[in-house]
Amino acid sequence: MILNSATTLRLSDLKPHQTAIVVKLHETLPEELHHRLKELGLIQGAKVELIRRAPWFKSPVSIRVLEGEYALRIEHAEQVEVQVLVQTQDPESFSS
User: For 8-56, how does the pLDDT look when each residue is reduced to its tens digit (9 = 90+)?
Assistant: 899 999 999 999 999 999 988 899 999 999 999 999 999 999 999 988 7
CATH number at residue 73: 2.30.30.90
Residue pair 3/83 in contact by the 8 Å Cβ criterion: yes
Q: What is the domain count for the chain?
A: 1
**Is 94 within the bounds of a domain?**
no
Could you list the residue range(s) of the whole structural domain that residue 39 is in?
2-86
Q: Can you name the residues that pair with 82 across neighbouring β-strands?
A: 9, 22
Residue pair 80/25 in contact by the 8 Å Cβ criterion: yes
How much is the pTM?
Answer: 0.80
**Is 91 within the bounds of a domain?**
no
pLDDT value for 94: 47
Residue pair 75/61 in contact by the 8 Å Cβ criterion: no
User: For 52-91, how does the pLDDT look when each residue is reduced to its tens digit (9 = 90+)?
Assistant: 998 877 789 999 998 899 999 999 999 999 999 876 555 5
Q: Could you give the maximum distance between any two Cα atoms of the chain, in Å?
A: 55
Which candidate, 43, 36, 47, places its Cα nearest to that of 71?
36
Instruction: Inform me whether the pLDDT recorded for 92 exceeds 90.
Output: no
Q: What residues contact residue 49 under an 8 Å CB cut-off, 6+ apart?
A: 17, 18, 19, 20, 63, 64, 65
